[in-house]
Structure 1
Amino acid sequence: MNVLITGLLPYDSGKTTLAKFLIGEAYERGIDVGFSKPISGINGWYQYEYVVKSIEAGLLIGEDLFKLHTATKSLDPIEYEGPVVTLLLPPDPEKVGWNVGAYSSVGLLNQISVIRISDLEKTKHYYVPSNIERTVVSLKSEIERFLNIVKAEPIEAEKSEELLLNSRSIADKCLHYLKRKHEFFVIESYNNAAAPTASSLEVDVVAVVAPGKVAVFSGNDYRRAVLALSSIKEPWKVTTEDVITLLNPALIVDIEPKKASKIFDEICDVFNS
């Protein structure tokens, strides 16, 4: 069975928590379980611990990716499980004149500093020199150390968007490879994107999570709703809020912190119905 987990909110919906619940419950029941976080990112300041882990691993690793890899006790390569990872670095406030408005208005394109893209044959890291130059000194030295370790390739900021767009087809190749290996497979989206990649819609069940609630949908119904809103090639341009206004969930489950068995069984019931 393949499950896609998406978030209702742009952040803090609880996707990774739910993914860990399902993975842990499957593992406890002796089910062969795998996962994918096809597209992910970390903020180098707020998630500095994972900058350190990335330096130790010689590989850019996101927080959610690391947590899920650990939860599954996975033997799969972590770079296949999370084939596209982006590191965002905040600008040095002094370099924007201590102007809160200017600091807050710095766009995503001006914070993307390192990108890792892994396919089934190789891993490549890219970096944006102008964005790294703009960040705080304490982070800059650590990032430069990491770049030397991974032998990253420099790119212009404008190229990073195109690179990330083209990387989704690469992420899908890793996704297909892993799905074939496991009996129970969990895919986690990012933010409130309807799906992180095109192939992420090829699932049996979709769980849309918000704090305390999970709306569960048939994978076929969810996919048709996304198709009604956008090209199947770009489901990440659709939000989950847009999708679920077109659908009635197969069920809605109230969830409690640190309790997975109920939602696991409910999702399996939708799959079997």
Structure 2
Amino acid sequence: MKVLIAGLIPNDAGKTVLAASLVKALLREGVSATPVKPLGATDLWGHPEALNRSREARLVVTWDGYILHRASGGRLPIEVINPIGALLAPTPPSRYRSRSGYEASLVEPYRRAVLTRVTGCAGGSRSLHLANADALSRVPQQVSEALQEVIMYLTPPPTPASDEAIAGIFSGAGSTAADTCLAMAEASSDAVIVESNSDVVAPTPSSSYPSLAIMVAPGEAYLVEGTRLSRALEAIAMSGRPWAAKAMEALELTGHLGRVDLPLLEDPDEGYPPDVISPLVEAVKGRLRKGLTTENYESLIT
């Protein structure tokens, strides 16, 4: 079964912490659970440690991908857990001809995606690295030197790409490859916890058909029936592109089965304690056992 976690706001909704917490809790309960983040991007200004992780793995490794891989105990390779990963570099205002160009880079991440990895899992995992020449030309010298050092370690070596090529990947061109890795995770797990990106409902076609969904915002998580979400996506997604639909819009159509309050975490690496995550764990376990009705959910979620 698939459990989809989507954010109700574009940034810092808490998707990764919740996904990692749920995976760890399910594993403790004896449920074979694997996280998958089909599309992820890490801003190196906020998480420069992603460069070291990428150098060690000889692959582009996003910070969210690393967190989820660690939470799963390394059940699957990190490139399968996060099949499309990008590293975003700072491209300061002085590198643009106009203020509008700089502002566009802040809302269109592909303009700062200096390194991108696309992994497909049909017949085993295979990866392709892309180096965005346009973005690299806008990076400050010291950042560029750090990136060039990492590029030397990547296997396979990156292929040159443009803003337009990377934009295509961010806009769904890599979804077929990502879904092959999602299928690999499903074949080896009781439950796959799929984390979406930004405030997108579902990042790939396959992920738009979950058994359950969890919509998260700072302080709250909403449990949603998967079938209702899939029907809502069919109504609002454009031409079969679920990544064009926003989570808040979908939640307004689906309603929710229940709500869980989420506390502040002094140490996000520790994740949510059992008393917080327990209702979501029980909902997943219940669906695995026999399927749950709305009434059953209401007895689990307050």
% of aligned pairs identical? 24
1:200-229 deviation line (CA, Å, top 9, x unaligned): 022110000112211111111100011111
Partners in 2 of 1:137 and 1:122 — Cα distance? 32
Contact 1:37 1:82 in 2 (8 A): yes
Contact 1:44 1:139 in 2 (8 A): no
Structure 1 vs Structure 2 CA RMSD: 2.0
Spell out the pairing of 1:19-34 with structure 2 (5 A cutoff): 19-34=19-34
Structure with larger RCO (C-alpha < 8 A, sep 6+): 1
2:257 to 250, 256, 264: 250
Match in the other structure for 1:42 = 42
Are 1:190 and 2:187 an aligned pair? no
What amino acid is the match of 1:272?
L
SS in 2 for 1:134: coil
Unaligned runs of 5+ in 2: 266-271, 294-302
Partners in 1 of 2:25 and 2:137 — Cα distance? 45
Quote how far apart the aligned CAs of 1:231 are: 4.1
Partners in 1 of 2:167 and 2:138 — Cα distance? 18
Partners in 2 of 1:227 and 1:101 — Cα distance? 35
Partners in 1 of 2:96 and 2:253 — Cα distance? 44
What amino acid is the match of 2:177?
I
Number of residue pairs matched? Answer: 272
Match in the other structure for 1:158 = 164
Unaligned runs of 5+ in 1: none
Scaled by the length of structure 2, what TM-score is found?
0.84
What amino acid is the match of 2:78?
I
Contact 1:207 1:214 in 2 (8 A): yes
Scaled by the length of structure 1, what TM-score is found?
0.92
Match in the other structure for 1:95 = 95
Q: Structure 1 residues 2, 102: CA separation in 2 closer, same or farther (over 3 Å shift)?
A: closer
Match in the other structure for 1:142 = 146
Quote how far apart the aligned CAs of 1:31 are: 1.5
Partners in 2 of 1:228 and 1:50 — Cα distance? 38
What amino acid is the match of 2:278?
S
Contact 2:234 2:240 in 1 (8 A): no
What amino acid is the match of 2:64?
D
SS in 2 for 1:187: strand
SS in 1 for 2:174: helix
Contact 1:24 1:72 in 2 (8 A): yes
